[in-house]
Amino acid sequence: MNKSEDLLENARTGNRRSLSKLLTLVEEGHNSPVQHGSGSSLGITGPPGVGKSSLIGKMIDVWVERGESVAVLAVDPSSPRSGGALLGDRMRMVNADSSDLVFIRSLATRNHPGGLMDCLTPMVDILSECGWKNIIIETVGAGQSEIRVVAFADRILLVDGPDRGDIIQAEKAGIMELADLIVINKSDLPEAERAAKAVKSALSVGEGDTTPDVLMVSAHSGQGVEDLVNQLETVITSTDRERLRVRERLISAWDSTLLNSTKLDTTLQALEKGSITLQEAVDKIREEG
């Protein structure tokens, strides 16, 4: 048995150190010992500051209360693993006496020039294989690269806030089209109701085959959180959204191939000098096969 199989065996019995080590190996690019995994994940995304981490903390409370385990992969675009912001996130998320039922892991995207696509799915599969029931991927949904990350999840929850700015950001990034369910957090604030209405009317303009529901929650008071967790259990996706997710995943794979190409440097140099065209550059990299 090799090292990662060893770790998997221990992780299956609930050994968290082994689980962490195994995830680190996979993050570093080693092959996962889980083949043909069937892990399923929920992506939670939304602009910075809308309360994603706070809400996940409250959702964790509900799951833990029901005796269900939760693993969170918190994707942070820039911070190193020990960053203060992440620690804050972690503190907010582990507010319950959740101990054995909760596992939180941060992933810094800056360690992955080609994106997280090579490790995200294997990590979800490993967590699932080790018995983690609810697997969450938290990403900051404020740009194209974050959409790429959240598209690896099987279901997507968009968290928005009462500020018009938040909502516009989510619309701009195209995240609303990917969401299977939308929540407006901070329902304790006066503008939340209006924000929910604005989102609903923005959605009704689209001609999708199923429009996502819009719920109001407050991570501070806990209002609506139990409903949200219940609704997530039965939420269905649409073929349109599935197609969009698959499309984003393909683009991720494409980007990763490009950025990991052994010909990248020489191609960039040639482009800089003007000795090849962009089309020739693309052809050159594709030749690699």
Give the interface with ligand GDP as residue ranges (CB under 6 A): 46, 48-54, 92, 185-186, 188-189, 218-220
Output 18 or 185, the one with its CB closest to Mg ion.
185
Distant-in-sequence, close-in-space partners of 240: CB < 8 Å, separation ≥ 6: 177, 208, 209
Copy the structure tokens of residue 271.
Answer: 């482009």
- Residue 185 touches which of ligand GDP, Mg ion, none (Cβ within 5-8 Å per kind): ligand GDP
Distance CA 163, CA 36 (A): 42
- Residue 76 touches which of Mg ion, ligand GDP, none (Cβ within 5-8 Å per kind): none
Q: Closest approach of Cβ 89 to Mg ion, in Å?
A: 5
- Residue 48 touches which of ligand GDP, Mg ion, none (Cβ within 5-8 Å per kind): ligand GDP
- Residue 49 touches which of ligand GDP, Mg ion, none (Cβ within 5-8 Å per kind): ligand GDP
Q: Closest approach of Cβ 76 to Mg ion, in Å?
A: 8
Output 18 or 139, the one with its CB closest to Mg ion.
139
- Residue 77 touches which of Mg ion, ligand GDP, none (Cβ within 5-8 Å per kind): none
Helix (H) or strand (E) holding 139: strand 134-140
Output 96 or 264, the one with its CB closest to Mg ion.
96
Q: Closest approach of Cβ 11 to Mg ion, in Å?
A: 26
Q: For residue 53, state whether it binds Mg ion (rule: CB under 5 A).
A: yes
- Residue 252 touches which of ligand GDP, Mg ion, none (Cβ within 5-8 Å per kind): none
Contact indicator for 136, 159 with CB cutoff of 8 Å: no
Contact indicator for 173, 144 with CB cutoff of 8 Å: yes
DSSP 59-83: HHHHHHHTT--EEEEEEESS--TT-
Q: Closest approach of Cβ 22 to ligand GDP, in Å?
A: 26
Contact indicator for 183, 157 with CB cutoff of 8 Å: yes
Residues 76-95 that bind Mg ion (CB under 5 A): 89
CA 157 to chain centre: 10
DSSP 240-282: HHHHHHHHHHHHHHHHHHHHT-TTHHHHHHHHHHTSS-HHHHH
Distance CA 151, CA 232 (A): 17
Output 96 or 276, the one with its CB closest to Mg ion.
96
Q: Closest approach of Cβ 230 to ligand GDP, in Å?
A: 19
Residue ranges binding Mg ion (CB under 5 A) = 52-53, 89
